[in-house]
Every structure is written in C-alpha cells, then in structure tokens.
Structure 1
Amino acid sequence: MELWMEEGDAWALLARQLKERFALERLPAVARTAEGKPWFPQYPQLHFNLSHSRGLALCGAGECPLGVDVERVRPRREGLARYVLSGLEFAWFQRQGEDWGSFCTLWTLKEARVKCTGTGLRQAPRSIAVPLLLPGQSGSLDGLRFRAYGGEGWRAAVCTAGTEALPGAVQRRE
C-alpha cells in the first residue's frame, strides 16, 4: 500500500500513482458499491481511496480494502468535539490540550474507518470507534489496522482490513 499527497486533484494523483506503481496507462472505469465506495470493476483486486481538503489531495492504493482521509487543521465551531467524539475520545482530546490538530487526527481516523468498510457516515460520528493515536502511531481495533499522519497544518489517516504493510509516511508529490 502507498499513500500519496499533493496540492491538487485527488483523481489526477490516483491516475499518476496507478501509472507509476501498477503500469496502468490511464485511470480505469470507476463504479460505486451500493454504499457509494468507489472501485475498479476491471481490476477488482486493486483497492483505492481518495480524500481532499482545501486544495490538499490524498490517495491510497493497494491490494487490500482501505480508506484514507486528510484534513487541513483549522478552528471549527465550538462544541463540535463534544458532539462528534465518544466519551473516551473526548477525554483523550482534553488530555492533548483540546487543540484542533488532535481533533483532526481523531476525525481522519473515523473517516478512514468508514471509507475502508464502505459504510460512510451513516451513523452518529461519536459511535465510530477508532484507536487513540498521535501522528506517526499505528494501532488496531475491531480487526482493522490504522495509522495516523501529520504535518504542519494537516492531519491524515489510513485504515485497512488487510495485512498489507501500512506506510510509515505519506509520500509528498510536488
């Protein structure tokens, strides 16, 4: 599995990643599951996921189901953390100093989980359980594996249901 990030379009980034890693000359036709998760009918063994946030694009591709999410760190409305985090997550968030970077780390983990499983945000966010990770840490929960990433002004996460190695870093493309 590889994760690539750049300023720009996530679909264009995916096309370049598929060309470099899998020698696909162009983006294959995309279909969506009944729940909305995109996939390649022509290459069902190839899994991918995309995310974007305020001009920043993240793309992951590999041989196991995966979900990715990226968020720009920025202030959000007051009370949002209390609304979307479980009690355990909110206590962890408070221990981290209630900063928006910590909130975005948890949020990207939640988004990555629902994108990996294909369920989407069809349930209350506080009921979507994730491991409590800082950027650079990995963990597992409910048979899924997670890794959190972060840099100046952004946070990202990946979740996979497979045994493929989780990338230690996000590859920045310029």
Structure 2
Amino acid sequence: MTIELYTCSFPRHYSQHHLSITVDKLPKISQEKIKRFHYLEDAYRSALGETLVLHLLEKKYGATVRKGIRKEITEYGKPYFPQYPLFHYNQSHAGEWVACGLYHQEIGVDVECIQPIDKNILKSCFTSSERSFIFHADDSDAAACQVWSMKESYVKAEGRGLFLPVDSFEVLPTGEGYFMVQQKSDTGRDQEAYGCSYPLQEGYQLSVCALGAVRSDFPSTVIFQDIEHIC
C-alpha cells in the first residue's frame, strides 16, 4: 500500500467566528485541545489540521463518519479513532502549512519552518553522522531542518513521544530525499524504518516516516487540498 500525503495552506483571512464553526464539527477531545490555545492563529491552525484528518477519514469510510465519531489518545499521547482501527494517520502543522499522512501501519508526519541552526540542539540532539551530513550540505540550515523533521516524524510514527529520546536513533540519508532510521533495540539488534522528505514552498520542509514501509511506498508527490473544500 502506498503512503498518502495531503497538505493544505493556512488562509490569509480567518476569524473567531470561523474558528467556532470549524471547531463545532470536531470530536469533543479535539475541541478541548483547541480551546487551550491562547492565540487565535494557533487555535485555527490546529483546528484546520483536525478538520483535514476528518475529511480524509470521510473520503475512506463515507460522509457519515462524523456522526458519533470517537477520538482517543494512547498512553503516550498519540491520537486514534477506535471505530476505525485500520485508519493509521498523523498530522502536523507549522507556519502556513498543515499536512496529514495515511498508511496501513503506524506513520509520522512533521512540517517545519527552516530556521538558522541552533548549535545547542545540534550538539545535544544529533549524532556525529547527522552533524557530518548537515555540515557538508550546500545549505546547512535546510539540511538541519530536514534531519530534525525526519527525527520528529520517526518519533511520531514510533508512538512513544518524549519517552523516545531523539539522540537514541540515527537518521541516515540514502539519496534523493530518502532516509533510513536506525535505532538500537533492547535486544541489541538495530530497528530500521524508512522516511522521505519533501520541500513545500520555499522555507518549509515536510517529512514522513512509516513503520514497515519500503522506499517504493513513498509517493512522488504531495496532494494539495483546498481549504474551502475540506471545511
């Protein structure tokens, strides 16, 4: 099964009224999360991500899924829909972009804005091989963002959140935007996963990692969804 990747862009004009209408259509647990945001922009971005997920769920299972839909959270904080156990998804948002990935196994997606390298993070969170890749890249800031985004997507796919330190595994580039993730397991055997990064518009990076996926499972393109359509 091929991984599906979807994005939509943040609207230029939005309001508290529009946010309220959007939030009212979401599961209760999503509504409670969104209400905790202090800034309208952050709340609306989160609501848009949750709406994109429900839109894709409806595409797969029919237009009536929102009726009585339940959303729950694992002990590590990963959301899922108990009525649809085969619907593995993950969503992310940053700046002007919201993204969601679908797969038949656990998947992680991360969107990042490219920013100057933070030397403290580089030293504490990246392995020597990752630092070497970054420093030898034509654009070190973009390369650092690419590796960080890939690490975040693996953490999200693995499903343990902050219980999985980002320096406990290594992201290794294999060419053309593809990466292999290696992590030492408790048995001493390396656990491997694969990921791929995609440039969005200038200044943004999208990464996806899926457990059990092979290189051919990653799509060549990302599908753009019109915000008016999904809302």
Same fold by TM (over 0.5)? yes
What is the one-letter code of the residue matched to 1:110?
K
C-alpha spacing 1:108/1:80, structure 2 compared with 1 (3 Å)? same
Partner AA of 1:148 in structure 2: S
Moved more, 30-39 or 161-170: 161-170
Answer yes or no: is 1:68 the counterpart of 2:112. Answer: no
2:87 is the counterpart of 1:85? no
Q: Mind listing any 5+ residue stretches in structure 2 that lack a counterpart?
A: 11-47, 183-190, 227-231
Please list, as runs of the form range in 1=range in 2, the aligned pairs for 1:5-154 lying within 5 A after superposition.
Answer: 5-8=7-10, 9-27=48-66, 28-97=69-138, 99-132=140-173, 136-139=177-180, 141=182, 142-151=191-200, 152-154=202-204
Q: Give the distance between the partners of 1:124 and 1:30, measured in 2 at CA.
A: 27
In structure 2, what residue type is equivalent to 1:153? Answer: G
Distance 1:163 1:73, change over 3 A: closer
Question: Higher Cα Rg: structure 1 or 2?
Answer: 2
SS of alignment partner, residue 102 of structure 2: strand
CA contact (8 A) 1:135 1:155 kept: no
SS of the residue corresponding to residue 156 of structure 1 reads strand
User: d(CA) in 1 for partners of 2:145 and 2:104?
Assistant: 27
Under a length normalisation based on structure 2, what TM-score does the superposition of the two structures give?
0.67
Name the count of aligned residue pairs: 174
Q: Is the 8 A contact 1:135 1:150 kept in 2?
A: no
**For residues 131 and 117 of structure 2, what CA distance do their matches in structure 1 show?**
15
Give 1:169's aligned amino acid.
T
Ranges of 4+ aligned residues in structure 1 off by more than 3 Å: 24-28, 76-79, 133-136, 138-141
In the TM superposition, what is the alpha-carbon distance from 1:97 to its structure 2 partner?
A: 4.1
Which residue identity is paired with 1:5?
Answer: T
Identity level (%): 26
Equivalent residue in structure 2 for 1:159, among 209, 216, 220: 209
Structure 1 residues 130-139 or 83-92, which shifts more?
130-139
Which residue of 2, 6, 20 corresponds with 1:4?
Answer: 6
Relative to the length of structure 1, the TM-score reads 0.86
Determine if contact 1:5/1:56 at 8 Å carries over to the other structure: yes
One-letter amino acid matched to 2:171: V
User: Which runs of 5 or more residues in structure 1 are unaligned?
Assistant: none
Contact 1:53–1:70 under 8 Å retained in 2: yes
Deviation at 1:127, TM superposition (A): 2.3
Query: Structure 1 residue 170 and structure 2 residue 219: aligned?
Result: no
The Cα of 1:16 is off from its aligned counterpart by: 1.7
